[in-house]
Amino acid sequence: MSVPPEQHDDPIPARAGVGLKPEHYADILDGAPDVGWFEVHAENYMGEGGPPHHYLTAIRSRYPLSVHGVGLSIGSDGPLDRAHLARLAAVCDRYRPGLVSEHLAWSTHDGTYLNDLLPVPYDDETLRRVAEHVDEVQSTLGRQMLLENPSTYVQFESSDLSEIEFLTELVKRTGCGLLLDVNNVFVSATNHAYDARAYLDAFPVEHVGEIHLGGHAEDRDDGDARLLIDAHGSAVADPVWDLYAHAIARTGEMPTLIERDNDVPPWPVLEDEARRAERVMRARGSNRVSAR
Amino acid sequence: MQRVFARSVLDAARTVPDGVTSHTGPRPKRRFDVYRNNVYVSLIDVLAGRYPVILRLVGDDFFRAAARCFVEACPPRSPVLMEYGDGFAAFLEEFEPARPLPYLSDVARLEWAWNRAYHAADRQPLSADDLAPIAAEDVPRLVFELLPSVSVVSSPYPVFSIWSTNISDVEVEPIDLASGGEDALVVRPHLEVEVRRLPHGAVGFVSALAEGACLAAACERAMAESPEFDLQTNIAGLIASGAISGYRLPGGTEI
């Protein structure tokens, strides 16, 4: 399907943004920090009223906003939850985000919501189904969406495409964009013993509209191999910063989100990480930009 | 595939599904356990954030064990997690290890009412001045509209005192469980959720108003429950709480 180009009055700039947490509402409104934009999880703003809408409305009037869905279960083997898609559309109508994104994952089965981003096999059947769901989301929202590469802990014997092939074909079929989560690349590459840089070199960067940076935790698997967990509860790790520099050299300057969902630190900690991302972006992304 | 995967995630006694693999071997249990852990820990954390007084009353280990049983019995039916945990009070009522603490479920009802009020639709409360123009003879026929955030919680235990000291005090006040029942009004007039103790008879009164009864009928019901019910005090209390968003006279004025 064809997707209308982005025509939003408040686009997300090629700067660092921060995931918005209720703990920081007051810091942001009182301190007016110089960050490029904020991102919210759509599901946290699906209530009828109250402080979440009050504060987000105030923050949205001062900053560009990106809406990131975590519960649409686009990778479900059943139909999309239309009621939930309608709620997502309502959040977008209300807050006019510059970008809207979701995950290549599933989280609902038979009406039960599992509150985790569960993996899909990379095969033709899954590709067909996910493409249908992305089409449905984009036609309902009337705009392009970005789909995020997942962090995974297991693989499927039935997968006969690589993740890159799967995402590339999905973009071709639906016209969606991609959200490149660099921490997820590092987590999945470590967990499945492949080269994260080679993955980034093969990634269809011309379709990337946003980058995510977050923290991970570390464990060991059944065979005592490293097992990284996408926990979003700590600072961005050094190897992920290195990979980010590698990615940004390919994508050019790109909206980059600092994500912290658990053990949320005081606001200045996240603002520092956002500044660091912008330094990397300015230092490494300029080659690509000047080459345009 | 997803049916089997979902069942195995929810039930750790099941084996890792066929077809799930990794570079260190097929059907990797520790890897699959990451999904199991993510699901349970995240949902237990949601409940811990929603029921902070229950958590304080029973302690972390008991709470997490109880919450895990609740998640197993009643996993979320919607991705909108602000709506998750409605049944926790009813669950605690039947939860055998919680039997020695019979007041827990009423405290949980109060905490759920708080969560509901936090996310309820916004409505501007009326002030006493807004009600001043009403003619005295019209007062019995008045029908009040309450804020969408309003709930009442009624308990044979001192539920307001238990909630109040545990939510706000570093050192909790000792509470005599034999001191009798308490009722609470939960409302969010502006940004802050407020919880107030209701006088005797007020539960019937507020409940009747919430059902759309006129003032006279609501008063009658309150008197039946508690002969010492005082209408003036209760109306003044409701207005002061910011619980009334409008009124109408059948066939007449509407505000």
pLDDT digit string, tens, across residues A82-91:
999 999 999 9
The chain-wide mean pLDDT, for chain A, equals: 95
Nearest residue on chain B to A115, alpha-carbon basis: B39
Locate all alpha helices (DSSP H) within B95-214, ordered by sequence.
104-119, 128-131, 159-168, 202-210
The per-residue pLDDT for A2 is: 45
Residues from chain A that touch B30, judged by Cβ atoms under 8 A, are 219-222, 227
Question: Chain A closest CA to B55's CA: distance in Å?
Answer: 18
Write the pLDDT tens digit of every residue in A228-262: 999 999 999 999 999 999 999 999 999 999 999 99
Looking at residue B200, what is its pLDDT?
A: 86
B245: three-class secondary structure by DSSP: strand
pLDDT of residue B250: 81
CB contact under 8 A, A54 and B23: no
- pLDDT, residue B170, reads 87
From the list B28, B75, B80, the residue facing A46 with the nearest CB is B80
Cβ pair A9, A249 in contact under 8 A: no
Is the predicted pLDDT of residue A289 greater than 80, yes or no? Answer: no
Average pLDDT for residues A30-50, to the nearest whole number? 98
Q: Tell me whether residues A71 and B82 touch, CB distance under 8 A.
A: no
Domains of chain A: 32-175 (3.20.20.150), 181-203+213-292 (no CATH)
- A267: its two tokens: 């606001």
B191 contacts in chain A (CB < 8 Å): 50-51, 54
Helix (H, G, I), strand (E, B) or coil at A232: coil
Residue B150 tokens read as 């309003």
- Detail the DSSP E strand segments found in chain B: 20-21, 143-146, 151-155, 182-187, 194-198, 244-248
Q: What is the pLDDT of residue B15?
A: 96
Q: What is the pLDDT of residues A181-195, one digit of tens each?
A: 999 999 999 999 999
Residue B145 contacts residue B162 (beta carbons within 8 Å): no
pLDDT tier, A6 (very low <50, low <70, confident <90, very high otherwise): very low
Strand partners, A39: A19, A66
Which whole number is the average pLDDT over A211-239?
A: 96
**Residue carrying the six token digits 């097992």:** A227
* Nearest neighbour of B76 by CB, restricted to A76, A115, A223: A115
Q: Predicted confidence band at A1 (pLDDT cuts at 50, 70, 90)?
A: very low
Band (A5; pLDDT cuts 50, 70, 90): very low
Q: In chain A, what percentage of residues exceed pLDDT 90?
A: 93
Phi and psi (nearest 5°) for A258?
A: -90, 115
Q: Which residue has the tokens 């706000």?
A: B168
Contact pairs from chain A to chain B, CB under 8 Å: 150
Of the candidates A67, B67, A104, A134, the one whose C-alpha atom is nearest the C-alpha of residue B76 is B67
A171-180, B134-143, B168-177: which is most confident? A171-180
Q: What is the per-residue pLDDT for A190? A: 98
Q: What integer best gives the mean pLDDT of chain B?
A: 95
Reported ipTM: the value is 0.94
pLDDT tens column, A73-116: 999 999 999 999 999 999 999 999 999 999 999 999 999 999 99
Evaluate whether A175 touches A3 at the Cβ level (below 8 Å): yes
Region of B189 on the Ramachandran plot (φ > 0 left; ψ -120 to 50 alpha; else beta):
alpha
Q: Is the separation of the CB atoms in B108 and B95 below 8 Å?
A: no
pLDDT value at residue A8: 53
- Predicted local distance difference test score (pLDDT) of residue A285: 75
